[in-house]
């Protein structure tokens, strides 16, 4: 199987290249093909001749999307359409990485794949509109929604917390947003399995369990042996340009249909800390 990975220089892209074995894998970075340029995208797909395309590239700076919506939609929505067009021409299958931000966060039970999209941020809207367009263009594509991604090789919440803890005695972390931390290694392995099973439709892919950002930070510092105190605060106290879902836990039912189950986020965090220290 030949696989082309768009976004190969990103946190997830790096994990996909490391973890995918037994197939012919080609990584495509922004310097190889600009998602906003349909001709460059088409050329990259024609050159690599994939059976599967994994679209892990995106403009993921959530607050930056609020101040630069044009770029957010150009990359996250229109860029995805360009990849889908190229996939259709090449008769390749497509797996698109999406996000919990397509939901409004008003539920109090895990979101299912068929729950209504109602994004509250520009980032969420750009990904939600991409989902809708791709499902129209390629009904057999796979949309893998994930959340709270962390891993080595890029900026992520655990890395930020550990760096701040090295210079501070206390950290304020929001305690009224709840979601599922997801380790890039586990996500990459799940994507591999989904492609091998010719997955289609929407699948929620996160590590098992859920927590608040405060609980996540507390666990990070405890496992790292840091004595920095974590203080819970509200989202109002830590106001950000882009609204975040208060509750964005994703149900694993769709993933379990493929007989794939990811480890608990605490287990994943322990492995991340070992990888980070290596």
For the annotated catalytic residues, the residue numbers are: 123
Report the alpha-carbon distance of residue 62 to residue 2 in Å, rounded: 32
Residue 248 · residue 101 · CB < 8 Å:
yes
Report the alpha-carbon distance of residue 124 to residue 135 in Å, rounded: 17
Report the alpha-carbon distance of residue 242 to residue 226 in Å, rounded: 30
Question: Where does residue 213 fall: left (phi above 0), alpha (psi -120 to 50 degrees), or beta otherwise?
Answer: alpha
Residue 33 · residue 41 · CB < 8 Å:
yes
Find the farthest-apart pair of alpha carbons in the chain and give their distance in angstroms, rounded. Answer: 56
First to last CA, the chain: 31
């Amino acid at each position: 199987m030949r696989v082309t990975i768009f976004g190969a220089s990103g946190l997830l892209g790096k994990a996909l290249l490391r973890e995918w074995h037994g197939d012919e894998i080609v990584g495509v970075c922004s310097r190889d093909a600009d998602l906003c340029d349909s001709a460059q995208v088409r050329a990259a797909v024609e050159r690599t001749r994939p059976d599967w395309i994994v679209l892990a590239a995106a403009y993921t700076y959530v607050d930056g999307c609020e101040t630069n919506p044009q770029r957010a939609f150009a990359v996250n929505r229109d860029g995805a359409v360009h990849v889908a067009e190229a996939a259709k021409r090449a008769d390749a299958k497509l797996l698109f990485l999406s996000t919990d931000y397509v939901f409004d966060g008003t539920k109090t039970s895990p979101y299912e794949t068929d729950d209504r999209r109602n994004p509250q941020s520009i980032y969420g809207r750009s990904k939600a509109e991409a989902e809708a367009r791709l499902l129209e263009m390629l009904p057999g594509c796979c949309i893998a929604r994930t959340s709270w991604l962390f891993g080595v090789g890029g900026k992520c919440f655990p890395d930020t917390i550990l760096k701040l803890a090295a210079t501070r005695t206390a950290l304020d972390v929001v305690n009224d947003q709840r979601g599922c931390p997801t380790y890039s290694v586990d996500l990459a392995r799940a994507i591999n399995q989904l492609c091998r099973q010719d997955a289609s439709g929407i699948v929620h892919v996160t590590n098992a369990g859920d927590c608040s950002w405060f609980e996540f930070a507390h666990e990070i510092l405890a496992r790292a042996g840091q004595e920095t105190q974590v203080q819970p605060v509200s989202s109002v106290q830590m106001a950000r340009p882009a609204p975040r879902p208060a509750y964005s836990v994703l149900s694993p039912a769709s993933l379990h249909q493929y007989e794939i189950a990811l480890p608990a986020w605490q287990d994943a965090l322990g492995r991340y800390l070992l990888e980070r220290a290596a």
